[in-house]
Chains A and B, each alone.
Chain A
Amino acid sequence: MNKGVSVWPLSLRLAHWASAILVVAALGLGTYMVQLVHDPAERFELTQTHKSIGVAVLALTVVRLCLRILANAPKPEHAAPLVLLAAKVTHIVLYALLLVMPLSGWLMATTTPVRVPTFVFGLVELPYPLSPDLTTYRVAHTTHVVSAVFLGSLVVLHIAAALIHAFLWRDLTLARMWWRRSPAA
């Protein structure tokens, strides 16, 4: 299907790169604040920022998934079936983690006994739909941490694959997510 299209729609390209920036920021900040920040005031403030970025990731991912379903996806570049399958699986898991990460974070913020209001970038207060519950919080926390490691690994794999496509195999996989004009357009 959509044989005439050779680049991703502009909306999805923008969403992809915005998501890339936000995800790297959230992963980096989350790791930094938990591993390296020992000043309680700084940790508190960074956590508030981290939660805001997470909400942005969630909102963007929902919009992105809607766009993705509606979009005319470009045909994949020629590659071995196993590579195509690996790409497909990676992309699906990436999308899933982009939902699991912020949702498990939201669940943490909601169920923790240390419930701190989240004002998304200082503007809107994030609702907390559940009551504090230590067991649920611990499950959410573990999910968040394990997912973060998974997501970080997949982001590295995703970047490596994009670079291999672009510089080793010299195909247009990366270009169609970049600013390349569609010849069909």
Chain B
Amino acid sequence: MAQSSQIMSARNARTYRWLVAVCALALLPFAGTGEANVAQGWRIDEAHTWIGFKIDAVGFPKTRGHFNHYSGKVFIDFDRPAKSFTSFTVDATSLDLGSQTFTDFVKSSPLLNAEKYPTLSFISTLVEKLDSRTARVTGNLTMLGVTKPIVLTVNVDTDPSAKGRAVAFVATGTIVRSEFGMTFGVPIIDDALEITVKTRALTDE
């Protein structure tokens, strides 16, 4: 009886971790600023959401920036994880680099060109579970009107105190900006930059 219980418990734990991973990776870039973001009973904890990037340059400190406005959608298929889907859009004009003049410059035409291309968008095309704590999401990023595939690695972390009702995840990936036509400053400013999406998904179920 005790042995059977242990087996059940181990199986439950595996299933649980698997579900969490699928759920989290599907939710990866899901983030909202007010619009209805509830799908499959999950919602985003906006207080714990952050979308940003960092980029290196020669003779200049490493620059970190983030966006203040974004929205996202997510569809989760627990039975067929590969069918899970997510998409999000980021308001390019909501960039924040900590200084108005610096932000305005990066939003200007040689870089983000936010006036002409006010949104950055990501649509997932493939969701893969790597292990219980890691997932890989492939999708199409549209920046400066150019759409290219990118790959994000997602670290999944369950909050033990939340009893499975909260999942934190950190998605990171590298964008080679020249592929999107953003060649400004290369090679003084690196061609590759790292993007990060941190968020937390909550459910009442």
Q: How far is the CB of B74 from chain A (nearest CB, A)?
A: 33
Q: Are A44 and B184 in touch, CB under 8 angstroms? A: no
Q: Which of A7-15, A33-41, A90-98, A171-179 touches B?
A: A33-41
- In the complex, which residues 91-105 of chain B have their Cβ closer than 8 Å to any Cβ of chain A? 97-99, 101-103, 105
Is B36 part of the binding interface, using a Cβ–Cβ cutoff of 8 Å? no
CA–CA, A114 and B57, complex, Å: 10
Contact A113 B61 (CB under 8 A): no
Q: Give chain B nearest CB distance to A115 CB in angstroms.
A: 7
Give the bracket for the number of chain A residues in contact with chain B. Answer: 10 to 19
Minimum CB distance partner of A47 in chain B: B60
* Interface contact A43-B61, CB-CB below 8 Å: yes
How far, in angstroms, from A43 to B105 measured CA to CA in the complex? 13
Contact of A112 with B by CB under 8 A: yes
Q: Flag if A40 contacts B63 (CB, 8 Å).
A: yes
Distance in angstroms between the alpha carbons of A148 and B49 in the assembled complex: 45
**Is B189 an interface position by the 8 A CB rule?**
yes
A40 and B188 within 8 A (CB): no
Let me know if B160 is at the binding interface, CB within 8 A.
no
**A residues engaging B (CB < 8 A)?**
34, 37-45, 48, 112-117, 134
> Could you show 7 A-B contacts with beta carbons less than 8 Å apart?
A37-B61, A40-B63, A44-B102, A112-B188, A113-B186, A114-B189, A115-B110
